[in-house]
Amino acid sequence: MAQRMRVGGLRPPGQWSTLALSLLLVLVVAALGAWASINAQAFYAGLIKPAWAPPPGVFGPVWSVLYLLMGIAAWLVWRSAGSVAQAADALLLYGLQLLLNALWSWLFFRWQFGLLAVIEVCLLWLTIWFTLLLFWRSSRTAGLLLLPYLLWVAFATGLTVACWHLNPGIL
């Protein structure tokens, strides 16, 4: 039976409390993005969009599932490593992509900075890709759980670029 590592004399949190913490973190990121997107529905409705753009009602459910998968993936990485220190690189990169994830909503919806949103979503996609690779090394399941997120952000990147090009006076 593996012994649990102690950090600073404290016993690390149990696996279920760590899962809850991981899910809480993505919930906070989702809330930050939602805060920036308070007026997103009206703004998005006013944009010229490509024919392949999904209806606005698709985004909420898709992001809800993706955030759940992200939280579980991070938990699996932490759990497979045995400690945060052992998974530090993967979890730090994961934290960076969470920040970039929340920032995109601010750039696109709140501040309407189209070019910066395009640059940022490309950086987000690359960060997710490298996070997925690091997660895969730690837990193949965790890596696979990030795959839908990577694919969705690739789609969102195309949509961001298209909206920026189609709406030069707005974005």
Among the listed ranges 10-19, 66-75, 118-127, 158-167, which one has the minimum average pLDDT value? 10-19
- The H-assigned helical ranges of 8-87 are 15-36, 40-45, 59-81
pLDDT given for residue 150 in this prediction = 98
The whole-number pLDDT of residue 140 equals 97
Output 65 or 40, whichever has higher pLDDT.
65
How far is CA 28 from its chain centroid? 11
Domains plus CATH for the chain? 15-166 (1.20.1260.100)
Q: How far apart are the C-alpha atoms of 148 and 7, rounded to whole Å? A: 34
Give the whole-angstrom CA distance, residue 109 versus residue 167.
13
Tens digits of residue pLDDT in 16-62: 888 889 999 999 999 998 898 888 889 999 999 999 999 999 999 99
Q: Are 155 and 147 in contact (CB under 8 A)?
A: no
- Rounded distance, CA 102 to CA 30, Å? 7
Question: Residue 10: pLDDT band by 50, 70, 90 thresholds?
Answer: very low
pLDDT 10s digits, 100-119: 999 999 999 999 999 999 99
Contacts for 6 with CB less than 8 Å, ≥ 6 apart: 12
